[in-house]
Amino acid sequence: MPERNPEASAAARDVLDKHTREMIDWHFTLETGTPFWIEFAKRNRIDPKAEVQGFADLCRVFPNFDGNWLRFEPPDQWIPKVYAGRPFQIFETGGTTGMPKQRLNWEDFEYDYSALSETLDDESFPPGGNWLMMGPTGPRRLRLAIEYLANLRGSSCYFIDLDPRWVKKLIANRETTQARAYMDHVVDQAATILRYREITALFTTPRLLEALSLKRSVPDAGVRGVFCGGTEMSPQTVRFLMEEVLENRTAFLPVYGNTLMGLAHSIPPTPENGYSVTYFAPQPRAVLRVVSPDESMRLVEYDEWGRVELTTMTREFFMPRFLERDEAIRRAPATAYPWDGVAQVRPFQSPTQTIVEGVY
């Protein structure tokens, strides 16, 4: 499929290549760098600052990132020299595929969500008012990020606590009655907030949004916009949520992100695009590629399924070519985002690993 704007895509690649060089120089220089990566270069006898002149070189020089490094390496190995001695936050992944991976944070999440705020429609997500988050809190960055986003837009945020690891454990053990009872417990709390407080924006997951609508009409409650993410959203699910649950009266914004990437932006689903959701990484800080499950150096063709590969490059965190637990369709660059997108993201169909999604 041809690019919609070859000039814009070429310019975006130039920006990405320049950012890649800057981040390689930052993380592999003794004065600023990250101990893990400086030692990695020595151990593997590579010179990233000489060998990596652009993103394509990065993909050639570095193997796929091993998630166990974030599970078992000491935290101080991930602190860039210039951040040494500064207190940090510890954010964890969902723990879907084992012990959670951990990422240190100073300001990254604030940058990510400030960028999202600039894209929001004031009519659907009006400044001021109250927000409600019905999703995972605890060690995940999402809780702080959503509150930061709400505060950035002059709003306050109510929270319903959710432990998705417990739900996944119940489902894995086939304790479906207990899982349903826990979901009802979460949804009942949200319905109570909607009944007694004026809520203008809601963050939740597809399954929780549907369950909430059975207890309380989201549009009738005055919610103007819904952020929705966390689990697979097929075109059929998106259409159902927009037309049946939100009755086309409340704005619906799909979101895709995680602790390791940050937050991708989406092209709004419509009847014209078949309610298919396409996400675009926040380049150049993060890059999403859709690669062959059998050969991760090879991109699949546009509109074909493949495994999602994530590269994150910020001054706080460098993670090249991590194979996510997701698969997706590779989409061509868009006008607003002149780089590849990922569509219809869903759990990777691994022959060796079972992934339990639960409610998140």
Walk along the chain (360 residues) and give the pLDDT tens digit of each residue: 445 688 999 999 999 999 999 999 999 999 999 999 999 999 999 999 999 999 999 999 999 999 999 999 999 999 999 999 999 999 888 765 568 899 999 998 888 889 889 989 999 999 998 999 998 877 777 888 899 999 999 999 999 988 888 888 888 889 889 888 998 999 999 999 999 999 999 999 999 999 999 999 999 999 999 999 877 889 999 999 999 999 999 999 999 888 899 889 988 889 998 999 999 999 999 999 999 999 999 999 999 999 999 999 999 999 999 999 899 999 999 999 999 999 999 999 754 444 444 444
pLDDT score recorded for residue 97: 57
Q: Which long-range contacts (CB under 8 A, 24 or more apart) does 210-217 make?
A: 210/240, 210/241, 210/245, 211/183, 211/184, 211/187, 212/134, 212/187, 213/245, 215/187, 215/188, 215/191, 216/190, 216/191
What class has domain 6-347?
alpha beta
pLDDT for the residue numbered 166: 86
Separation between Cα atoms, residue 184 and residue 176, nearest integer Å? 12
Strand 318-331 and strand 305-313: pairing? antiparallel
Q: What is the pLDDT of residue 345?
A: 93
- Residues 130, 231, 276, 284: is their CA dihedral positive or negative? positive
pTM of the predicted model, to two decimals? 0.90
pLDDT of residue 1: 46
For tokens 């500064």, the residue is 86
What end-to-end distance do the CA atoms of the chain give, in Å? 33
List beta partners, residue 262: 258
- Structural domain boundaries in the chain: 6-347
